Amino acid sequence: MTDFIQQILEATYEAESPKAYFVWSSLAAVSAVVRNNVYLSKGGLYDLRPNIYVLLIGPSGVRKGLPVSLAKKLVKEVNNTRVISGVSSIEKIIEELAHAETKSDGTMVSDGTCLLVNDEFSTALLSNDMAQTYLTSLHDTIYHEDWTYQTKGGGKLTIKNPYITILGASNIVHLNDFLLAKSITGGFIARTFLVKADRPGKINPLVDDQDPLPIKALTDTLRQISKIKGKFEWSQNAKELFVQWYHELREKLLQNDFDDPTGSVNRIHDQALKVAMLLSLSRNNDLILHMQDMEEAIRLCTEFQSTINQVTAGSGLSSMAPQINYFLSDLIRAQGEPVEHKSIMRRHYGDFTTEELGKIVETMVSTGIVEVLHDPLRYKLSDKGRIEIGGLVK
């Protein structure tokens, strides 16, 4: 089976949009078409299904529109779920999900599945103080076989087996204006992947004719994914990695190592599992969480806390001193052995992003304190570093 995400990246290689935007838009497309047909059992207590909320964040001109529009087009071509775009009221969306829809090929969508998509998400929902609260509730498929909306004058509407995927774009200013205080601390942000880029992925004026996007080939692959059904199983090494990461992060939370007013850290484990399922689906149809899926999901999901801080507080980290301390402390404890990049990112979820760690490493390398090794990417203290700071960082 063709790797769908890699297929998207190859097809859009000449586009200026950041690569991360295409990756996450592809994941949203997979989420939308697979619907609620696959799941991962969480210890027999509940079934986790891979619907995700994704917002691409960046300034005007960073090229957010193409990844969103491409994902929307492909999902519409597969034609197995509702696609709701443009500007709507939450009441209208609920009404649409509560009624069956006959697709153009004669098939019927009778449950509450949809892709809610807009290239400026802050304008997607007409003003209603409860809209973000409703979307927060509808995200959690584990709690709802049916979801009921009833008003005094409007009657009763029931959404059967709700499964909503969101893909949108915005910038931090518009998103700050759009978000309500209760969305920040009440769970909407904790359920949403904020994918931030500050500049285009490349500079390309696109003046020469290129081959058109292979929409049919991309649609064919996505249609294959849409037909996968069943229960996910674990590979042993992926299970061991997840268990280790879960314990490390839960212990960090219990020790109150950082504040989490949005609740995003407390939810990140299930969020990572959703992404791992989507990555697995994009590569093959064996319904197994492989080590590659789990590693990549953890990497993708542990890069968002700094973006959440910027969205919820209006600015980024004011000082990198604590982050530098965390990084150097890891190298000191390694006693001269190289420490893998992915290990540092797993351990310090919420402390810094990959981009911020890159800045820290660049600074430390320029001073001669840290050495960088490759294949895989690793860091270690230099002889100078061991002499100068070996006993200074706790």
pLDDT-derived band at 318 (thresholds 50, 70, 90) equals very low
Domain with CATH 3.40.50.300 in the chain: 4-226
pTM of the model: 0.79
The chain-wide mean pLDDT, for the chain, equals: 85
Q: Classify residue 190 by its DSSP letter.
A: G
Rounded to an integer, what distance in angstroms lies between the CA atom of residue 316 and that of residue 332? 27
Domain with CATH 1.10.10.10 in the chain: 321-389
Rounded to an integer, what distance in angstroms lies between the CA atom of residue 1 and that of residue 30? 14
Rounded to an integer, what distance in angstroms lies between the CA atom of residue 25 and that of residue 30? 9
Rounded to an integer, what distance in angstroms lies between the CA atom of residue 190 and that of residue 125? 19
Give me the CATH topology for the region 4-226: Rossmann fold (3.40.50)
pLDDT at 278 over 90: yes
Tell me the three-class secondary structure of 93-159, residue by residue: HHHHHHCCEECCCCCEECCCEEEEEECCHHHCECCCCCHHHHHHHHHCHHHCCEEEEEECCCEEEEE
Lowest mean pLDDT among 81-90, 116-125, 279-288: 116-125
pLDDT at 382 over 80: yes
Task: Please state which architecture CATH assigns to domain 321-389.
Answer: Orthogonal Bundle (1.10)
List pLDDT tens digits, range 2-19: 899 999 999 999 999 999
H or E element that contains 366: helix 354-366
Share of the chain above pLDDT 90, in %: 42
Closest CA to 36 of 119, 187, 139, 131: 139
Q: Which residue type is seen at 106?
A: G
Closest CA to 78 of 35, 36, 48: 35
List pLDDT tens digits, range 117-157: 988 777 777 666 788 888 888 888 777 788 888 876 667 88
DSSP for 29-98, written as a single string? HHHHHHTTSEEEEETTTEEE----EEEEE--TTS--HHHHHHHHHHHHHH-SSEEEESSB-HHHHHHHHH
At residue 12, the pLDDT reads 95
When pLDDT is averaged across residues 378-392 and rounded to a whole number, the result is 73
pLDDT-derived band at 222 (thresholds 50, 70, 90) equals very high
